[in-house]
Amino acid sequence: MSALVSPEQLRSEQEAMLLLDVRWTLAGPDREGYRAGHLPGAVFCDLDADLAAPPGPGGRHPLPDRAALAEAFRRLGVGPDTRVVVYDGGVAAAAARAWWCLRWLGHEDVGVLDGGLPAWVAAGGPLETGDVTPTPAPSSPASSTGDLPTVDADDVAAGRVGVLLDARAPERFRGESEPVDPVAGHIPGARSLPTSRLLDGAGRYLPAPALRELFASVGADGDEPVAAYCGSGVTAAQLVLAAHEAGITAALYPGSWSHWITDPSRPVATGPA
């Protein structure tokens, strides 16, 4: 079942859903952008504070433990039976991280606004300004293991991942540019599939058949275990979401590159291969 929700579908069902605005960039959560204009009733979700543990040995955006994550969602208004739609400013990575986190907790009733805020505005959807104070849910969403798998550095190093996909921009994969982390390059054996290739010119996800072709073009057709990583586990969630739309199960390496390079003994590759 598709996780994507069109602006038109959202407008017809909005009153029955909790909307989470997860706008975020590499500079951090975009609360000011949220205050300047967001979907009516949408609650701001701070990716750094709500969807990640503090940076450290686990990387720049390590996963919080399940209980802490479930409590963060409860404070935002997500209960066991809450229908949730997440969106961001259109880049799609932050919304995918929120979708992934809820599914990882076992909360299945969550969708992603396809195209994010720009698609909503283009479809004539209204906006409101200021903050929306969340109404905490009486109880937390499911905090048991969901159906989205993870891998760690040991799995990657031991070759237990058949196809490892790197979601970052090609120049970061090749090691030509690294604007965030102290070491440039990629995990040896990884294949480049930047998230920019997942979207059409309007910022919406490609249709499922096109996504299947795209994943197959880098050897990820589902015959071997697939995992995704990026800089810190945010944009890689977008690859996992796109793989879901294509009918492929992909694991997330939550620590991603920012965790891989914390151990100098782990190898680093550069170049296009």
Catalytic option among 4, 113, 230, 237:
230
Strand order in the sheet with 250-252: 191-192, 163-166, 226-229, 250-252
Distant-in-sequence, close-in-space partners of 219: CB < 8 Å, separation ≥ 6 = 163, 191
Start-to-end C-alpha separation, the chain = 34
Active site residue 45: no
DSSP string, the chain: ---EE-HHHHHHHGGGSEEEE--EETTEE-HHHHHHSB-TTPEE--HHHHSSPPSBTTBSSPPPPHHHHHHHHHHHT--TT--EEEE-SSS-HHHHHHHHHHHHHT---EEEETTHHHHHHHTT---B-S-------SSPPP-S--S--B--HHHHHTT--SEEEE-S-HHHHTTS--SSSSS-SB-TT-EE--GGGGB-TTSPBPPHHHHHHHHHHTT-SSSS-EEEE-SSSSHHHHHHHHHHHTT--EEE-SSHHHHHTTSTTS--B-S--
Catalytic residue positions, numbered: 230
